[in-house]
Chains A and B, each alone.
Chain A
Amino acid sequence: MSVLEMRAVSKVYGEGATEVVALQEVDLAVDPGQMVAVMGPSGSGKSSLLTIAGSLEAPTSGEVLVGGGRLAEMSRDELARLRRRSVGYVFQDFNLLPGLTAVENVSLPLELDGLAARRARAAGVAALERLGLADRAGHFPDQLSGGERQRVAIARAVVGDRRLLLADEPTGALDSATGEAVMRLIRQACQQGVAAVVVTHDAQSASWADRVIFLRDGRVTDGTSPPPGPESLLAPGSGR
């Protein structure tokens, strides 16, 4: 079963003369362990796709299912619980709370979900450890480098038992080496079963995905085929 499924999803903002069609009849399914990258020029609907997938906005028409559950049939409380428990977000500008330490940022969603503070903190420490940040747990965001902040954000996005990771330009504010490290971490999360949707305009970041889809004017216009193994690059005669 797909972790995320979008069926003929459309989103229209405004009406009449001010109507803006952000998404048109988008179909998308992301399975556990899979990373899908979404590319397209600005204004193509990439961010709307993410906010609708993450239940932050409702589609104008069409259906969204997360973990098999139809978002349209959930109450506000159920949607909030889904966002706290099953969905992780990673943003270009990290969106960490400046007054909280790294581990407090990571464990906050668990605490909000009712987990005892001590257990939430232990889960937060464990998530930071997995991302190589154990020694930064007590640091505040402004004491961390950009790459470290994004790793904290990824820890927050995968802490607990989250199945869906939604990332909006996660490498946009990072240099290429740090950006690569961040994509490698998202890849690792997928290897542990997380389904990821990564919106990016950067081809190098997109190339970490199993599948890349291209949006234009709110429509999915194209997508990559599953790539052949890398051994095809090393075939005799491929050298220049």
Chain B
Amino acid sequence: MSIRHALLALLAEGPKYGLQLREEFESRTGEVWPLNVGQVYTTLQRLERDGLVESDGAAEGPQKSFHLTEGGAGELAEWLRTPPDLSSPPRDELVIKILVAVRLPGVDVHEVIQAHRRFLIELMQQWTRLKNDEADFDLSLALVVDAELFRLDSVIRWLDAADGRIRRAPADAPAGKPAVALRRKIGVRR
């Protein structure tokens, strides 16, 4: 998520000071996203330059208050409805590791898969413990924790599916179509 749009969202509630924006940003994101005050002021300067926010013209520094312009409100509304980039990353590190492990002599790909599966579950245990301990009282934190758990869960499901698919595959399976054909097929750019 861009800090730029997060600040526009906070200013949509009314005029605010820089320090106030930082505090509210951190509490709204379940405090899992630390932000330094320098980032806030740099972003505000850019937003002002682009005509999306205006300052009240008071002296520079912490007493300076910002409010949203009409252009800023339009930008925020458009951002909320713009789908994020969910196209698959060209080099998912875990996928690459499994692809390498499956072909590398002397490497047990299932053992590699299990090492990653265990690590991911351990990470999920930490998030779940956080949810159990605290998230009942904080909607933002609960939403962030759920997002992490579903994301990690989907990676484990992929590992499980990969594990089964590799076990079912004949040992002397050909390497498959050349990668260039796959790239063309799914439209991935180099």
Contacts and interface: CB of A to CB of B under 8 A. Distances in A.
B19 interface: no
B7 to A, nearest CB: 16
A236 B36 CA distance: 11
Nearest to B148: A233
Given A41-B160, A204-B153, A207-B149, A233 B32 contact: yes
Interface residues of B, number: 28
B157 to A, nearest CB: 8
A7 interface: no
A230 B122 contact: no
B120 to A, nearest CB: 7
Contact of A208 (B118, B128, B152, B163): B128
Contacts, number: 71
B146 to A, nearest CB: 9
A22 interface: no
B75 to A, nearest CB: 23
A214 B114 CA distance: 9
A230 B126 contact: yes
A214 B156 CA distance: 13
Interface string A197-208: 000010110111
Interface stretch (B9-17, B92-100, B129-137): B129-137
Contact of A227 (B34, B122, B152): B122
A222 B153 contact: no
B130 A233 contact: yes
B129 A227 contact: yes
Contacts of B120: 203
Interface residues of A, number: 29
A187 B153 CA distance: 20
B115 to A, nearest CB: 8
A14 interface: no
Contact of A232 (B114, B126, B163): B126
Nearest to B128: A207
A207 B121 contact: yes
Interface string A162-199: 00000000000000000000001001000000000000
A184 B133 CA distance: 11
B31 interface: yes
Contacts of B128: 204, 207-208
A187 B126 contact: no
29 contacts: A39-B121, A184-B132, A203-B120, A203-B124, A203-B152, A203-B153, A203-B157, A204-B128, A204-B149, A204-B150, A206-B121, A207-B127, A208-B125, A208-B128, A208-B132, A212-B125, A214-B118, A224-B121, A224-B125, A227-B122, A228-B126, A229-B126, A230-B126, A230-B133, A232-B126, A233-B127, A233-B130, A237-B34, A239-B33
Interface of B: 31-34, 114, 117-118, 120-122, 124-130, 132-133, 149-150, 152-153, 156-157, 160, 163-164
